[in-house]
Amino acid sequence: MEARPLFSREEINNTVWEVPVKFIRLKQIGSGAYGSVCSVTNEKTKEKVAIKKLHRPFQSEIFAKRAYRELRLLKMRANLCGVVGFITYLTFPNISFACVSSIYCSYLVMPYMFTDLSKVRGNLSEDKVQFLVYQMLCGLRYIHKAGIIHRDLKPGNLAVNQDCELKILDFGLARSTDAEMTGYVVTRWYRAPEVILNWMHYTQTVDIWSVGCIMAEMINGKTLFKGKDYMDQLTQIMKVTGVPGKEFIQKLDSPEAKSYMKNLPHYPRKDFSTLFPKASAQAIDLLEKMLVLDGDERPTAELALEHPYFDTLRDPEDCPDPKPYDDSRDNATLSLEEWKRKDSKRRNTLTMTKSA
């Protein structure tokens, strides 16, 4: 009898998936610049999981470094506190190019979540908004205390299930807090103002701004700052937060940013109780604290969790302390061959996964 092949090959939305045969019923549930995600069923365990295929992880040194960083960030976290867990890492020669040992497919296997916030339609009740924001902040507290900034929080990167359980996804753009930052990060509508024009060295509170934008969207059922481009995005923000005073402008590093701010029309800060008529007084107070133009004035995730808005939810077991993230490789300059050699250790681990 002919032996059953170890892998199956299937094309889904112009992406070729080559995975162990135990993974069946592949269905694409997400796609981004750096990878695609499918839900699958493990035929042996009957468990449903999510698999992320990394796009061309060894196309260049930059792509290899990004894939290596995301894997390390996934491995350092527990499957709790609002952050998605990690099951295993699969990497092996691409079936289509089996004679070329340097061409590999790389996949991250993670717990399956029912959907993400970008697909949740309709206005959410305040208790659901409260619970979802609480979980976001628990997850952020965990990664921030490990020394990591997510940098790409948006509804599509927040997985939820039928029980309103939330997990933060996609750490492809995450960085350590000491790393050199760039302005090309968070999706524009959820991007903190200090990031838009690279005004200053930004901190973990860029993620808090994103949480404020997402919370506002859940309350009102529509995007709060829907800029057409990055300059219009800044204008939309100023129309809500108001134009800052001289003290804040002096903190800006860029002369161009200072000049831009000084020449803006006078926008007064909007009344948040008018902007969010359905929200409670505590929800409005929290929003006002998170959506502050000056990142230095925003609360940390840990401080935000102490807000009275979460008095009925707060539980110390939801917020364990992480191990510090080792960022020694984040600024490494390695050749593509060196990144491949680092990955080879994980290919050895896969040998056991194939026969499991």
For residue 152, indicate whether it is catalytic. yes
Given the residues 116, 127, 152, 326, the one annotated as active site: 152
Q: Encoding tokens for residue 178?
A: 């000491």
Q: What is the DSSP letter of 171?
A: -
In angstroms, the CA 99 to CA 95 distance is 9
Tokens coding 275:
């902007």
Q: How many CA atoms lie less than 13 Å away from 64 in the CB half-sphere?
A: 21
Q: What is the DSSP letter of 2?
A: P
Phi, psi of 308 (to 5 degrees): -55, -20
The four Cα atoms 60, 64, 65, 71 give a dihedral, to 10 degrees, of 160
User: What tokens were used for 335?
Assistant: 């050749």
Q: What letter represents residue 187's amino acid?
A: T
Cβ 282 vs Cβ 309: under 8 Å: yes
- 10 residue type, one letter: E
Which residue carries 């997402």 as its tokens?
A: 214
- Long-range Cβ contacts of 260-263 (<8 Å, 24+ apart): 260/197
| 340 marked among binding-site residues | no
The partner residues of 166 in beta bridges, in order of sequence, read 160
Rounded Cα distance between 19 and 89, Å, is 12
Q: Name the token pair of 153.
A: 């929080």
Q: Residues comprising the binding site for ATP?
A: 53
List active site positions: 152
